[in-house]
Amino acid sequence: MCKTLKNLPKKFPTAIMDIVVGLGTNTLTVVRGNTTDIRSEDIFEIMCILSENNIQVINLDLATQENKDRYYRFLKQGLDTSEDRTSLILCEPLECENLLFEITVNNFIHRSMFYIFFWPHGEVSKLFLSGIKEAIRVAVITNPRNAVFRLYYNQASPNKLNHLTLVNWWSGSLYKSPSLPPADKVYHDFQGRVFNVPVLHAPPWHFVSYNNDSTVNVTGGRDDKLLALLAKKLNFKYKYYDPPERSQGSRISGNGTFKGTLGLIWKRKADFFVGDVTMTWERLQAVEFSFLTLADSGAFLTHAPDKLSETLAIIRPFQWEVWPLVGATLLIIGPALWIVIAAPSLWQHRKRDQLELLSDCCWFTTTLFLRQSSTKEPSKAHKARLVSIIISLGATYVIGDMYSANLTSLLAKPAKEQPIGTLQDLEEAMRDRGYELVVERHSSSLAILQNGTGVYGRLAKLMRRQRIQRVRSVEVGVHMVLSKRRIAILGGRETLYYDTERFGSHNFHLSEKLYTRYSAIALQIGCPYLETFNNIVMTLFEAGILAKMTTDEYKNLPEHSRRSDVGAESDTKEIKDPTDNIGTAQVQPESTIGLEPVSLTMFQGAFCLLGVGYFLAAVALATEIHLHRRKTTRRTITPVETSTARRRSARMIYLKQQFDRMFGILYVFVDRALRHDARE
């Protein structure tokens, strides 16, 4: 049968008042357990003496389960609103152990939560000490003799866990003020404490090689250097270990689990994690973050655009929107010249074959646009000659020269496909062109797609039809982009940019910035040395040292790239992933994709066009022969009609000759250009 705490020691209310005033809190919750039968007068005395010092007192009795649930709701409300909750718990040692266990299980742990247990007799039990987590703030008041009280605190030593340290005592007054040592004084020196730190292979933040005995070997990285600086400044040591699942973790799932490295911190099985950990609202429900270590943005990576077909290079300077306008110009300019010539005749009612004049105008303007030697001018009038000169100048210097300049630039630097640079372009490519989007599993990028609306929601919906949606790491996703053309990966822009430099930036296209993302050190909620870490990281960030460390990783890129390949290969062997067969993708060296000399291959479009010209000339000749044979069989053809047919036949033959001449000149020009480049 449990004992019952019936009486409080002498001078206890006064000692509590001095201790609470030394804590600097404005509210105290007096909690009486089931094993407490203290007189109401004693509780009233505590409330009165605290009220005189402007400290609000809340009195709770845990005699029933309903009252205990009310107390836990009160603590949870304090967590949600970040309000201070200081509790004075009065009960027997056995109930103190049970209450500490329930508080830990419910995770009512934060820097704003402080629990003061009164230990009425004997030493603090080992069971109670074993239940104290480092992040929970626990103090124990003992009464070794009359009118003397000792105050023990669990966060008074930086290198002792499950331990209570004597920090103050009261014998008429407090020995020192404040009542508890501040965290920045306690954790400025960890006195050689050893931390077991999980690590993930994620260049350029960590370069990790995995051994067969489940050990890891970290060969470098920006965050490895950062952790080394923290360890040197705060005097602690660390050992890396391979965490289960080898992922960061995105959020607490619906069944109350949290996978990945952040899940270990949430379960308080790991103290902290240094890496490219993005700060998100979902992750803030499980861990705390230090001051930011990287200001980054989201982006996606696709394969570099392919070269467009060189066969169509000769017509590529004009977009499809231009050709209707060119055709309309050819159709309009002939009748316009006819109107200029025929207007006086129509006004003065002169007799002239207007249909033949219109045909001559259209033929004349067509030969001008083809830049061929023209036939006889349709009119000697000054207005007609002025219009002819304007047409000739426009065709020669505007259309011809601009076309030649654009064609020359396209042959010097071949055109490429339109790159995918925005989320809207990516959505269109996934919907119409068969592109697939992958993300790192248990990452912040995955959480954005799962919780996003608008274009992010539509991208997530398109991803559901894919066979592979998530990859083990960003590096594996970059290998997929390198080996397969219609793959995109979403992630941090800094990481993607580094991987493009590792595997050849010419092989990839990096999108524009999508959203802002910040990375920081992940720690347990209520971690007592969070402010100590913040002060150092803030100093390194403001001084530009973190940026310098990131830049140094790019300078060491060749060496670390070789090391990273080993780690990635061993990681592939460890986990059988559907994308493991792409880990050995061949990277094309930069020297093999530079500018190429001009060759006949680049001018294959001109030869194709020459062939089209010959084909059209042959069709025109065959048509003319066929029509001539049909007309010779007719006996009713008049001499005027025969003369008109002969003129039209002559024009068609002349048009064929002009086409042949134009393509002959083009061939000579191409041949001379190749010989000139060969001599240079």
- In this prediction, residue 222 carries a pLDDT of 92
Helices (H), 575-638: 604-632
Beta pairing partners, 236? 193
Is 621 inside a domain boundary? yes
Beta pairing partners, 202? 206
pLDDT digits (tens, 9 = 90+) for 274-315: 988 999 988 999 999 999 999 989 999 999 887 776 666 666
Is 632 inside a domain boundary? yes
- In this prediction, residue 322 carries a pLDDT of 66
CA distance 524 to 269: 9
Question: Which position has the higher pLDDT, 602 or 183?
Answer: 183
Q: What's CA 281's distance to the chain center, in Å?
A: 16
Is 618 inside a domain boundary? yes
CA distance 598 to 678: 9
Beta pairing partners, 238? 195
The verdict on 173 and 321 lying in the same domain is no
pLDDT of 652 higher than 90: no
The 10 Å Cβ neighbour count of residue 202 is 24
Q: What's CA 135's distance to the chain center, in Å?
A: 33
The residue from 181, 196, 223 where one domain ends is 181
Task: Please give the tally of structural domains in the chain.
Answer: 3
Band the pLDDT of 485: cuts 50, 70, 90.
Answer: confident
Sign, Cα dihedral of 101, 107, 110, 113: negative
Is 382 inside a domain boundary? yes
Contact 258, 286 (CB under 8 A): yes
Nearest alpha carbon to residue 521 among 88, 258, 80, 195: 195
The residue from 145, 162, 181 where one domain ends is 181
CA distance 274 to 272: 7
Q: What are phi and psi of 289, to 5 degrees?
A: -120, 145
pLDDT of 565 higher than 50: no
- In this prediction, residue 571 carries a pLDDT of 40
- In this prediction, residue 217 carries a pLDDT of 92
Of the listed ranges 297-311, 418-432, 506-520, 593-607, the one predicted with least confidence: 593-607
Contact 426, 437 (CB under 8 A): yes
CA distance 625 to 169: 121
Query: What integer best gives the mean pLDDT of the chain?
Result: 81
Q: What are phi and psi of 207, to 5 degrees?
A: -110, 110
Of the listed ranges 4-13, 240-249, 624-633, 659-668, the one predicted with least confidence: 659-668
Q: Which residues contact 636 (CB under 8 A, 6 or more apart)?
A: none
Question: Which position has the higher pLDDT, 458 or 659?
Answer: 458
Q: Which residues contact 361 (CB under 8 A, 6 or more apart)?
A: 334, 335, 337, 338, 341, 378
Task: Name the helix (H) or strand (E) containing 517.
Answer: strand 516-523
The verdict on 177 and 314 lying in the same domain is no
pLDDT of 476 higher than 50: yes
- In this prediction, residue 581 carries a pLDDT of 37
Is 146 inside a domain boundary? yes
**Geometric angle at alpha carbon 637, from 636 and 638, rounded to 5°:** 110
For the domain that residue 125 is a member of, what is the CATH number? 3.40.50.2300
Helix (H/G/I), strand (E/B), else coil: 491? strand
Of the listed ranges 30-34, 493-497, 555-559, 673-677, the one predicted with least confidence: 673-677
pLDDT of 61 higher than 70: yes
pLDDT of 637 higher than 60: no
The verdict on 19 and 168 lying in the same domain is yes
pLDDT of 435 higher than 90: yes
- In this prediction, residue 607 carries a pLDDT of 76
88-126 per-residue burial string, b: 16 or more CB within 10 A, e: under 16? bbbbbbebbbbbbeebbeebbbbbebbbbbbbbeeebee
DSSP state for residue 202 in the 8-state scheme: B
- From residue 508, how far is each of 158, 288, 421, 499 by CA, in Å? 48, 35, 12, 10
pLDDT digits (tens, 9 = 90+) for 521-538: 999 999 999 999 999 999
Is 582 inside a domain boundary? no
Nearest alpha carbon to residue 565 among 474, 509, 502: 502
CA distance 48 to 53: 9
The token duo for 30 is 């007096």
CA distance 531 to 671: 74
Band the pLDDT of 246: cuts 50, 70, 90.
Answer: confident
Is 350 inside a domain boundary? yes
3-state SS record for 103-155: HHHCCCCCCCEEEEEEECCCCCCHHHHHCCCCCCEEEEEEEEECCEEEEEECC
Of the listed ranges 224-238, 611-625, 626-640, 659-673, the one predicted with least confidence: 659-673
Helices (H), 235-375: 261-266, 281-284, 322-348, 354-369
pLDDT of 114 higher than 90: yes
Question: Which position has the higher pLDDT, 127 or 385?
Answer: 127
Half-sphere exposure of 100 (CA within 13 A, CB side): 32
Q: Which residues contact 635 (CB under 8 A, 6 or more apart)?
A: none
- In this prediction, residue 233 carries a pLDDT of 95
Beta pairing partners, 115? 87, 138
The residue from 370, 394, 412 where one domain ends is 412
Find the mean pLDDT for residues 71-97: 90
- In this prediction, residue 7 carries a pLDDT of 77
- The β-bridge relationship of strands 148-153 and 165-170 is antiparallel
Contact 420, 302 (CB under 8 A): yes
pLDDT digits (tens, 9 = 90+) for 141-153: 999 888 899 999 9
Band the pLDDT of 566: cuts 50, 70, 90.
Answer: very low
Is 44 inside a domain boundary? yes
**Geometric angle at alpha carbon 424, from 427 and 444, rounded to 5°:** 75
Which residue is listed with tokens 């890129």?
Answer: 557
- Structural domain including 172 reads 12-181
CA distance 121 to 115: 18
The verdict on 27 and 174 lying in the same domain is yes
Burial of 370 (0-12, 13-18, 19+ CB in 10 A): middle
Helix 382-393 × helix 322-348 angle, to 10°: 170
Amino acid found at 223: D
- In this prediction, residue 588 carries a pLDDT of 43
Band the pLDDT of 574: cuts 50, 70, 90.
Answer: very low
pLDDT of 4 higher than 70: no
